[in-house]
Amino acid sequence: MTKRKYDYEKYLGSSKKLKNFLDMYKDRSSTHRAYKLHLVRYFEHLEIEDVDGYVKDTRRLNNEEKIEYLDGIERDLRKYWIELNRQTTGKTPYVWLSAIKMFLLMNKTLELDDVYISLQKSGHGNYAITETRTPTREELLRIFSYSNPESKALFMFQLTSGQRIEQVVKTTFDNIDMTKDCPRIYYPTAKQKYWVKTRITPEAKKILQEYLEQRDKFIETRRKRGEYRRKQKLDKNSLFCMHISTANCVWSTMVKNAGLYELDPNTHKPYYGTHCLRRYFLSHFGDEAWGDFFSGHRTARNREYRKYSDERLDEEYLKHKDDLNIFEIQPDLTDVNKQLKERDQVITDMQKRINILENKYSDLLHELVVKKGKK
């Protein structure tokens, strides 16, 4: 859709149903903002003046009225869906579909599930259309060669914890326990609105400790640079005192310096954004189900894993920590261990033969002694 201003006050002031619905999401600012935009845009596009009259409780309609009403709603939804898919890209149509679906359900406009499913399947896909790539270890080494202690710690933290960049920059000292070999990270709430427990590798811990020794210097530099423009004070309890936009700019600069910066010709977004570090975690962590858990994905196994103790979580993460090493690669000792095992088996077999020969020698010696005694 063409960017323009929407008359929010007109709709929120005249529609009690719309206002009550949006009030449910006040504590989720991004969802509240997105749902308000897409619903008001929908009503303006269809030139609907009376929202409360447009949305009806289908339980109170007789069968004939309900069929006529739902057919009209379905026509509106399909018409707008086609227009939205023609003019927008990425997840925009699906955000609108989620908004209108929840709004209608809350107001008891029921029996439209088949329409929602049909629209979702007829769109351009469930994912953003920007081509995404996962860097190799060699490419990551090139990118990190242009980092400083702060950016190196920040992005290694993201890569080995599997978190989104917005979650990482919000990390405070209250969220992390550095006393463990694989430091424990706990977020009381994340994007999916439930707690997340994850870990970082010993390699990332070492890099983080090196950064923490110089952290005050980076904070002071950032404070001076933004002294006259910054509206909010830096949070000294934050592990990385920077805004998400700063983190994205730093990462883009590192990728450009490494000669790997490239834009998708369709969306003009970089192939290697900060999210590629999360993809690296998900594609390299040895156990897919546990990788989803530690990264904060909602999965079928989530409920079961959330019952486990921290000790059990430590154990599961430790099994695959070496999968995420970037700078310190553990040598593959599989063949060496196999050879040592075979050698040990040879020694064991030889010892058995020696024992047999010793026993035979003892028996012969005993027989000779007996014979000499008889003579």
| pLDDT for position 148 | 94
- Average pLDDT of 72-94? 84
- The enclosing H or E element of 176 equals strand 176-177
Cα–Cα distance for residue pair 272/50, rounded to 1 Å: 46
| pLDDT for position 127 | 47
Q: Map residue 196 onto helix, strand or coil.
A: strand
Which tokens in the block code for residue 34?
């997105």
Residue 1's pLDDT band (boundaries 50, 70, 90)? very low
CA angle 285, 288, 290 (to 5 degrees): 85
Tell me the backbone φ, ψ of residue 233, rounded to 5 degrees.
Answer: -75, 150
Helix, strand, coil tally for the chain in percent (to 5): 60, 5, 35
HEC readout, 244-280: HHHHHHHHHHHHHHCCCCCECCCCCCECCCCHHHHHH
Nearest CA to 276 among 158, 186, 151, 122? Answer: 158
As a whole number, the mean pLDDT across the chain is: 84
- What residues are paired with 333 via a beta bridge? none
Q: Where are the domains positioned within the chain? A: 8-122, 137-324, 332-375
Which tokens in the block code for residue 328?
């310190």
Cα–Cα distance for residue pair 348/366, rounded to 1 Å: 27
In this predicted structure, the answer to whether residue 331 has a pLDDT above a threshold of 80 is no
Answer left, alpha or beta for residue 136, where phi above 0 means left and psi between -120 and 50 means alpha.
beta
In this predicted structure, the answer to whether residue 22 has a pLDDT above a threshold of 80 is yes
Residue 332's pLDDT band (boundaries 50, 70, 90)? low
- Average pLDDT of 207-211? 95
In this predicted structure, the answer to whether residue 356 has a pLDDT above a threshold of 90 is no
| pLDDT for position 200 | 96
In this predicted structure, the answer to whether residue 43 has a pLDDT above a threshold of 80 is yes
In this predicted structure, the answer to whether residue 228 has a pLDDT above a threshold of 70 is no
- Average pLDDT of 46-74? 88
The C-alpha R_g of the chain, in whole angstroms, comes to 32
**Separation of first and last alpha carbons in the chain:** 119
In this predicted structure, the answer to whether residue 329 has a pLDDT above a threshold of 70 is no
In this predicted structure, the answer to whether residue 160 has a pLDDT above a threshold of 60 is yes
Cα–Cα distance for residue pair 325/285, rounded to 1 Å: 10
Which tokens in the block code for residue 2?
């063409």
- What residues are paired with 270 via a beta bridge? 263
| pLDDT for position 341 | 80
CA 23 to chain centre: 28
In this predicted structure, the answer to whether residue 192 has a pLDDT above a threshold of 80 is no
pTM over 0.75: no
Task: Please tell me which of 63-67, 206-210, 343-347 the model is most confident about, judged by mean pLDDT.
Answer: 206-210
Residue 2's pLDDT band (boundaries 50, 70, 90)? very low
Burial profile 37-67: b = 16 or more Cβ within 10 angstroms, e = fewer: bbbbbbbeeeeeeebeebbbebeeeeeeebe
- Average pLDDT of 69-74? 88
> Distances in Å between the alpha carbon of 6 and those of 84, 95, 314, 352, 369?
16, 17, 50, 89, 114
Cα–Cα distance for residue pair 87/195, rounded to 1 Å: 37
Domain 137-324 sits in CATH at 1.10.443.10
pLDDT, one tens digit per residue, over 128-159 is: 556 678 999 999 999 999 999 999 999 999 99
> Distances in Å between the alpha carbon of 70 and those of 52, 105, 228?
15, 13, 56
pLDDT, one tens digit per residue, over 243-293 is: 899 999 999 999 999 999 998 887 778 889 999 999 999 999 988 888 888
Task: Please tell me which of 84-88, 186-190, 313-317 the model is most confident about, judged by mean pLDDT.
Answer: 313-317
In this predicted structure, the answer to whether residue 345 has a pLDDT above a threshold of 90 is no
Q: Map residue 177 onto helix, strand or coil.
A: strand
